[in-house]
Every structure is written in C-alpha cells, then in structure tokens.
C-alpha cells in the first residue's frame, strides 16, 4: 500500500508511532504535495472565471505542472520509506558498502523532494500574481507548505551527509541543496509580495 492509499488519519497515526517509518522525509513529501494541490486548485478556480481568460493558457500549463509535481512528491514520499528502511537494514548488516549505498539513496531522495518542492514554489509565484484574487491566499498557503517541505528535506540531506565517505558526492549534494534553498527563498519572497491583503 502506498502512502496515497492511506487515509490522512492512518498516515498521521503511522508517523506518530514507534515505527521508524514514515518519518520526516515522507512527511515532507506529503506536505509538498499538499502545497502543490492548493496551488493547482487556484489554477482551476482561475480558469473558471471570464475575467482571467487572458491567462487561461498559462494557468492550464501551470495546473498540469503542479499536478505532475503533486504526483511526484507522493512517489518520493514512498521512496523515502524504502530508503530509510534500507539504511536501517544496512546498518544491521554491518556491510560498509551496503551502508554507503543506502546512505546515498537516503540523501538523494530528500534532495529530489526539495527540488520538486522548488518547482511548486516557483509555480506559486505566477499563481499568486495572476490567479483569481479570492483564491490567492490558498496559493500562498500552498507555497508555504512547499517551502516548509523543502527546508525539511534539505535538513534531512545535511543530516545524512555525515555518514557518507564519498567527498565528491557530498560536495554535489551540498551544492544542489544550497542552490535549491537560495532559489526557494527568492521565490517565496515574490509570493509574499503578491499577496493581495
């Protein structure tokens, strides 16, 4: 059963348990997906208004982009479950090569989650600027969900890097996470500027 197949209550109960997974990475994926869904909804409401006909094509494209990001973030939430379980199994095995491989995977998954959340925040810049004003607060909320999920994911990346012995891999993960955070900060500043209250 994927996370998407669970009820919200089932997911929250599984997070608030003594099980190792789902943990922060999976929760970040779900949170980012919620952000994408909120922005997607604003696109839909904007498309339903005659006064926004001039942005219909752009909103249609953004809706499709956000839907793809939402689906991908839920996939990454499931990938995180698998990655964390593999790390635990690798440490129990004591096999250093297996530990390194599992640690790398448990780092690349949250980084991809962060980068996908950045796509959501980037889309939210346009949605909050051109969406129907009555729904813009929902897009702002979506951007903030995605931003929080991005920051949480980057935090997970950094937490996992201490286990990895490959300096080139570590440097690449640090570079990409720093670029993602910087771009998100710029985008969220634009989203805040677009608020209509």
Query: Taking all residues of the chain, what is their mean pLDDT, rounded to a whole number?
Result: 94
pLDDT (0 to 100) of residue 170: 97
So where are the chain's domains?
22-194
Of all residues in the chain, what percent carry a pLDDT higher than 90? Answer: 84
Instruction: Provide the pLDDT for residue 53.
Output: 84
Q: At residue 22, does pLDDT exceed 90?
A: no
pLDDT of residue 197: 59
Instruction: Annotate 45-98 with three-state secondary structure.
Output: HHHCCHHHHHHHHHHHHHHHHHHHHHHHHHHHHHHHHHHHHHHHHHHHHCCHHH
Average pLDDT over residues 16-40: 94
Model pTM? 0.94
| Across 42-59, average pLDDT | 88
* The pLDDT of residue 167 is above 90: yes
CA distance 167 to 60: 43
List pLDDT tens digits, range 52-107: 788 989 999 999 999 999 999 999 999 999 999 999 999 999 899 999 999 999 99
Residue 195 clears pLDDT 70, i.e. is over it: yes
- Residue 196 clears pLDDT 80, i.e. is over it: no
Could you tell me which CATH class the domain 22-194 is placed in?
mainly alpha
> For residues 49 and 190, what is the distance between their CA atoms, to the nearest angstrom?
24
The pLDDT tens digits for 131-160 are 999 999 999 999 999 999 999 999 999 999
Model pLDDT for residues 26-36, shown as the tens digit of each residue? 999 999 999 99
Lowest mean per-residue pLDDT among 45-54, 79-88, 109-118, 162-171: 45-54
Using the structure block, give the residue that is written with the tokens 């530990």: 99
In this prediction, residue 51 carries a pLDDT of 81
| Helix, strand, coil shares, percent, the chain, to 5 | 85, 0, 15
């Amino acid at each position: 059963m994927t996370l998407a197949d669970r009820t919200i209550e089932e997911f929250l109960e599984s997070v608030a348990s003594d099980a190792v997974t789902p943990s922060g990475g999976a929760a970040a994926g779900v949170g980012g997906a919620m952000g994408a869904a909120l922005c997607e909804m604003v696109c839909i409401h904007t498309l339903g208004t005659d006064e926004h006909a001039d942005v219909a094509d752009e909103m249609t494209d953004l809706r499709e982009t956000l839907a793809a990001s939402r689906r991908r973030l839920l996939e990454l939430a499931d990938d995180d479950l698998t990655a964390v379980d593999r790390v635990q199994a690798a440490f129990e095995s004591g096999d250093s090569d297996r530990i390194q491989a599992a640690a790398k995977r448990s780092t690349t998954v949250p980084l991809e989650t962060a980068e996908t959340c950045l796509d959501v925040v980037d889309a939210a810049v346009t949605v909050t600027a051109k969406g129907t004003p009555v729904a813009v607060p929902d897009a702002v909320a979506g951007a903030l969900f995605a931003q929080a999920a991005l920051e949480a994911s980057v935090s997970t990346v950094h937490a996992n890097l201490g286990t990895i012995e490959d300096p080139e891999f570590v440097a690449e993960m640090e570079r990409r996470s720093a670029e993602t955070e910087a771009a998100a900060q710029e985008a969220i500043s634009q989203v805040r500027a677009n608020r209509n209250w």
